[in-house]
Structure 1
């Protein structure tokens, strides 16, 4: 389970990450990342990174969808320290995520995050 302070819950936050953030697609998932605005302009410290998940019925039945969500939550929790403070991350599982094994999800998530965090442009 993700800590409360690291969960995306509001529709506006999901929309901000998906519409105004960068994205990286892999065979089993798509990761959207919106970095926080400059903290010096706001005059305060940034909140911790927050993550949310979108797993549609295209992935499988409810048992499969919940298994995929649990795996993704676990993987993101282990990678929270890599995410910039204040950033919003949405992980959208694609239809192949239901059949993908744990190792495949790890590879796809790491590759997507590397692509998003490795570049300096927004």
Structure 2
């Protein structure tokens, strides 16, 4: 389970991360990450978006629980004060646990590596 101090609960935090953060998509998840320098003393916050197109309520809650469990292992990689939003794609409802884990890790790796200076 994700520690309660790391759970994102406010709508404005979700909106800020999705609109202003960097994004990396995989077949089962899309990850939005916003690094905030103004909140460097706060713990990183993580939020989840699992829409109805993922499945019925039982499937959505199951996907959310699995994602919370997977993100917990990556909390130490996030910088202090950052906002992370994990949005489940419809394929997440039928994905195996190892597929979900691989997609989440791949998306986080893309977002956490230093930005290349070659692209403009």
Displacement, 1:38? 5.4
Whether 1:116 aligns to 2:111 is: yes
**Map of 1:74 onto structure 2:** 69
Whether 1:85 aligns to 2:88 is: no
RMSD value over aligned CA atoms? 1.3
**Map of 2:11 onto structure 1:** 11
Displacement, 1:119? 2.4
**Runs of at least 5 residues in structure 2 that lack an aligned partner in the other structure:** none
Displacement, 1:120? 3.4
CA distance in 1, matches of 2:114, 2:97: 26
**Map of 1:47 onto structure 2:** 42
Q: How many residues align?
A: 116
TM-score normalized by the length of structure 1: 0.90
CA distance in 2, matches of 1:112, 1:8: 19
Displacement, 1:15? 0.4
**Map of 1:42 onto structure 2:** none
- Structure 1: which 4+ aligned runs deviate by more than 4 Å? none
**Runs of at least 5 residues in structure 1 that lack an aligned partner in the other structure:** 40-44
TM-score normalized by the length of structure 2: 0.92
